[in-house]
């Protein structure tokens, strides 16, 4: 492997490092997006359940390791706002994912083009 890397031009090695960095960035974005989507799904279910309940129903919110009784209307308002925020976050992460995937494709194409244009050296 050491001899192979000596055969790869420096500019291609830089592009390979960039490719690896973009792959790592993409993985972080995808993971974050999945986590936010999961929280959004849970928040959505909680909002649906609260909407089914009577206005005077006893509802509790988990705060740390305790449950605190809350007013249904204020909890519903807070969860609805949280849901909106999470939707925006999913959208932003989706755009970041798309841009990163585009950059990744561009770098892959650049690497392939440079490798094709690099003359092969005969083995001694």
**Predicted local distance difference test score (pLDDT) of residue 117:** 80
**Predicted local distance difference test score (pLDDT) of residue 114:** 85
Work out the mean pLDDT of the chain and round it to a whole number.
90
- pLDDT tens for 41-80 read 999 999 999 999 999 999 999 999 999 999 999 999 999 9
**Domains, the chain, with CATH or none:** 2-117 (1.10.287.370)
Query: Tokens at residue 116, please?
Result: 């094709």
Cα separation of 7 and 41, whole Å?
A: 50
DSSP string, 2-24: HHHHHHS-HHHHHHHHHHHHHHH
pTM: 0.80
3 has pLDDT over 60: no
**Predicted local distance difference test score (pLDDT) of residue 79:** 96
Buried b / exposed e over 45-78, threshold 16 CB at 10 Å, is ebbeebeeeeeeeebeeeeeeeeeeeebeebbee
Question: Is 6 exposed, middle or buried, given 0-12, 13-18 or 19+ CB atoms closer than 10 A?
Answer: exposed
């Amino acid at each position: 492997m050491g001899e192979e890397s000596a055969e790869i031009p420096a500019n291609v090695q830089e592009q390979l490092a960039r490719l690896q960095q973009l792959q790592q960035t993409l993985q972080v974005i995808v993971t974050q997006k999945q986590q936010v989507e999961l929280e959004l799904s849970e928040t959505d279910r909680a909002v649906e359940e609260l909407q089914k309940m009577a206005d005077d129903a006893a509802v509790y919110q988990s705060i740390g390791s305790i449950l605190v009784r809350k007013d249904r209307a204020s909890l519903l308002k807070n969860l609805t706002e949280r849901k909106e925020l999470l939707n925006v976050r999913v959208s932003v992460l989706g755009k970041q994912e798309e841009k990163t995937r585009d950059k990744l494709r561009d770098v892959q194409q650049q690497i392939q083009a440079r490798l094709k244009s690099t003359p092969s050296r005969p083995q001694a």
